[in-house]
Amino acid sequence: MKHFICHFDGSCWPNPGGPMGAGVVIYEGIQETFKLKRGEIVFTDRQVFDEDQKNSNNVAEYLALEKIVDWLIEKSKNEKIKATILGDSMLVVKQVNREWRVNKDTLYYEAAARVNNKLNELRSFCTIVVKWIPREKNQEADKLSR
């Protein structure tokens, strides 16, 4: 079974309302005795959005995560997979892990609802773990988001 290590990041400057970017890097995981290491890059993506009053850092984070989830759903059609998804947005990680609720009065509510629905579908047939990591360990996705 293949294991993927997926990094996501989003940015918006000024926040909210400025131009927005979403970056994704997916690695094939290499299992060592007690540790999963990053292998070669199997997918990258960069999305850029013009200024819009509906843009925010959190919307960008969710759009980046959605790109990963879509890629994993497509990949899982041909083979059984596992994925570790890593992001430096505590808000997004806590919300998709159902530790924090998503407020309906936010700019990112629609994106969050869409991603959570897709993630629930993916979790029904794949092992998916979503974890928070410090910003300095998410540099590749961060560069793509800017």
pLDDT given for residue 65 in this prediction? 98
- Ranges under pLDDT 70 in the chain: none
Q: Give the pairing type, strands 2-12 and 81-87.
A: parallel
User: What are the structural domains of the chain?
Assistant: 2-145 (3.30.420.10)
Within 8 A by CB and 6+ apart from 33, the residues are none
Count of C-beta atoms within a 10 Å radius of residue 95: 22
pLDDT given for residue 30 in this prediction? 87
Instruction: Quote the pTM value.
Output: 0.96
